[in-house]
């Protein structure tokens, strides 16, 4: 009897949680933007103009160069952080200062990416954006 009660109790606790874990929460910001890969993947269906394609290529090249540089810096600063926290006695102020450097680099990377997707959206016509929304919603249903 106890075993049945424990199993039932476990199912009640785990059941709703597992259903919630499967559902993605809505993303009010990301739902209105389009990843560059998605725009490139559907460029023909969207009817991108040569000007739009050239803009997309140029912006992605520019961002890729900046991203690569920031990634190298992030790796360097991460290695410094690792060496600081490996010590027997950790200097809290030094580690927190290093953390600020890491967080600033991560912020720059995210800002760079966000800026790119905004510039891409602004280059798309309202019709192209609507078409991408339809494609995006189809992918969510899968």
Mean of the per-residue pLDDT values for the chain? 87
Neighbours of 77 (CB within 10 A): 19
| Site of tokens 């030094």 | 94
Pairwise CA distance, residues 86 & 114, whole Å: 34
- Written in H, E and C, the secondary structure of 110-135 is HHHHHHHHHHHHHHCCHHHHHHHHHH
Domains of the chain: 27-141 (1.20.120)
Q: What are 26-55's pLDDT values in tens digits?
A: 888 888 899 999 999 999 999 999 999 999
Q: What is the mean pLDDT of residues 118-133?
A: 96
Q: What is the phi/psi pair of residue 17, to 5°?
A: -65, -40
Q: What are 75-96's pLDDT values in tens digits?
A: 999 999 999 999 999 999 999 9
Q: How confident is the model at residue 11 (pLDDT cuts 50, 70, 90)?
A: very low
Q: Give the range among 6-10, 58-62, 105-109, 131-135 with minimum mean pLDDT.
A: 6-10
Pairwise CA distance, residues 33 & 29, whole Å: 7
């Amino acid at each position: 009897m106890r075993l049945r009660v424990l199993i039932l109790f476990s199912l009640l606790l785990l059941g709703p949680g597992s259903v919630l874990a499967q559902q993605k929460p809505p993303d009010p910001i990301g739902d209105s933007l389009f990843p560059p890969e998605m725009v490139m993947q559907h460029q023909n269906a969207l009817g991108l103009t040569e000007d739009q394609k050239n803009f997309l290529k140029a912006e992605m090249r520019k961002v890729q160069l900046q991203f690569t540089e920031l990634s190298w810096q992030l790796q360097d600063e991460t290695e410094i952080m690792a060496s600081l926290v490996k010590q027997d006695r950790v200097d809290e102020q030094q580690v927190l200062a290093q953390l600020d450097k890491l967080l600033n680099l991560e912020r720059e990377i995210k800002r760079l990416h966000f800026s790119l997707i905004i510039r891409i959206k602004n280059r798309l016509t309202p019709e192209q954006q609507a078409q991408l929304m339809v494609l995006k919603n189809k992918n969510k249903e899968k």
